[in-house]
A and B are shown apart, each in its own frame.
Chain A
Amino acid sequence: MAASAYVWLFLAAAYFLIPLYATLAFSLKKNEAGTPCCTLANYSWVIHNGDFWHTIKISFLLAIETIVISLLLFVPTIYWVHLKLPKLRPVIAFMALIPFIVPPIVMVVGLLRVFRGTPHWFYAEPWGFLATAYVILAFPYMFFSLDAGFRSIDVHTLTEASQSLGASWPTTLFRVILPNIRSAALAASFLTLAIVLGEFTIANLAAFHTFPIFLQYVNESQGFPAGALTLLSFMITWAAMLSLLLVGRKRAARGALITGPR
């Protein structure tokens, strides 16, 4: 192996690992001088912070709401398209690219305008407006992951077998189809989890207090606890992505791996 290859890999490793190390070093400091050397005070600050628990609860519940709504919407739809309307598949694939191409900042400007004048319980609550925006944001990842899942099974044979044994449509969907696309659905869910837990743009412009907003507030006000929080946030991303790699079929996962709050 050529020496230049080692140089490139070494430089890349340095570039990617030093900021992670710096964050860790920051999270263990108490003051600028860094004395005493290492302290866990910042972590205990995080654990005893009411706003932390409050915002992370909102973010988690939002993520779960988004995942449930998306799965309820998209699993039957994509199933139906694969079974009866294969000609519509390219149309939906094109629609799924739109949230991918339109930047979130453009999307939120449009959404704020479209939903202006909707009732207070929708517009001013994260469970209404923000969840709607996140379902749209998650659509491409849901679609491409589920689509790959449906393509890898024989939808027609499974459906016919289930129906000729006397199963109703809901039974077919929940007890035959769903178990077969479980890994695709799980992969899509982990991606959505990672997206919602890190999403800042839409929450900030629509003025909702989610976990990334709290993180930004701490970054601006208290440097050293922010190190602990940042590391925690990275670990959530790691966990979501590694679970994705574990459950996802390689092909389904690779196409869908590219996401993330910017």
Chain B
Amino acid sequence: MLGAFQDKSDNATLSNIRLLFNHPYIDAYKTSIEISLVTALLGGVIGLFIAYAALRDGTPKFFRAGLLTFSGVAANFGGIPLAFAWIATLGPLGVVTVWLRSAGWDPSAHGFQLFSKTGVELVYMYFQLPLMILVIAPAIEGLKREWREAAANLGAKPWQFWRYVGIPVLMPSLLGAMILLFGNSFAAYATAYSLTSGTVNIVPVLISAYYTGNVLDNPHIAQSLAFGMFIVLAAMMLAYIPLQRRSARWSK
């Protein structure tokens, strides 16, 4: 970490840190944070719906066991193999691309590129959703059916139940899970690197360019980039504590 504050001859300096706020470094942070926010929010909401669909009363029990087992495995898919699976699906020669093209609709003609930011977000959902399902499942199981019935007896409509009971009760777990998802996606490197051959401008890819590429003239820039990532994650954790405290008053 100290390396972030040193120049090429190991003298103390802040210039590397100041550099972070300049082009192109700040853009990498923006892209990274945007991808992480999008996948954390979408992954959180969609994951919640999927988990609820499988766990709610009336869904056969084997859906629950199947979903949780599959999520346990799929949450661990990632990196190089995952990137390839998606290239085989939606890449230029991918199975779905070829199929859509023969059906007369070319995704690349409509602005879809797997190797772009949208593509990276789509692929990240593959490990974000299972993670969300695993983390939120215990909280959903904690929603007692008696509460629903009590609310219905008192004349509440379903949306009123969710607005005044369901969401507030789930909120602490939901927030915690989304923070976890944010960190998970913010730290991801191998998937994006392999998917885009290092062309998407996110911070981990930029750091690695300083080590594996031919541009290694100042390792301290990589170190200060890493330091910046650490700061973003720490800030996220700090923001989480008061939010958690505010929303956790319901769970006493």
Contacts and interface: CB of A to CB of B under 8 A. Distances in A.
Interface of A: 1-2, 4-6, 8-9, 12, 15-16, 18-23, 25-26, 32, 101-106, 109-110, 112-113, 194, 198, 200-201, 204-205, 207, 212, 215-216, 219-220, 223, 226-227, 230, 233-234, 237-238, 241-242, 245, 254, 257-262
B238 to A, nearest CB: 12
Contacts of A25: 88, 95
Interface stretch (B48-56, B139-147, B241-249): B48-56
Interface residues of B, number: 71
Contact of B189 (A9, A18, A105, A198): A105
A106 B80 contact: no
29 contacts: A1-B58, A2-B56, A2-B58, A9-B53, A22-B95, A23-B84, A23-B88, A102-B230, A103-B204, A103-B233, A105-B203, A105-B207, A109-B211, A109-B226, A112-B211, A198-B81, A200-B193, A201-B190, A201-B204, A204-B190, A204-B208, A205-B212, A212-B190, A215-B84, A230-B88, A237-B76, A241-B76, A262-B79, A262-B185
B115 interface: no
The CB with the most chain B CB atoms within 10 A, among A194, A227, A254, A257, is that of A257
A109 B72 CA distance: 30
Interface string B77-108: 11111111111110001111000000000000
Given A19-B86, A23-B88, A262-B187, A105 B204 contact: yes
B76 A200 contact: no
B44 interface: no
Given A23-B85, A113-B223, A260 B187 contact: no
A205 B194 contact: no
A242 B58 CA distance: 28
Interface stretch (B20-28, B127-135, B161-169): B127-135
Nearest to A5: B53
B152 interface: no
Contacts of B80: 198, 200, 212, 215-216, 219, 230, 233, 261
Nearest to A100: B183
Contacts of A26: 88, 95
B74 A5 contact: no
B242 to A, nearest CB: 18
The CB with the most chain A CB atoms within 10 A, among B70, B76, B87, B89, is that of B76
Given A5-B53, A5-B56, A9-B63, A198 B79 contact: yes
B201 interface: no
Interface of chain A: mostly helix, strand, loop or mixed: helix
B76 A104 contact: no
B223 A109 contact: yes
Contacts of B188: 262
A238 B96 CA distance: 24
Contacts, number: 197
A23 B184 CA distance: 24
B186 interface: yes
B197 A260 contact: no
A227 to B, nearest CB: 6
Contacts of A205: 207-208, 211-212
B237 A101 contact: yes
Contacts of B127: 260, 262
A234 B63 contact: no
B126 interface: yes
Given A18-B89, A26-B95, A242 B73 contact: yes
Contacts of B74: 16
Contacts of B189: 103-105, 200-201, 262
Nearest to A21: B95
A44 B52 CA distance: 44
A227 B86 CA distance: 11
Nearest to A112: B211
Contacts of A219: 80, 83-84, 87, 194
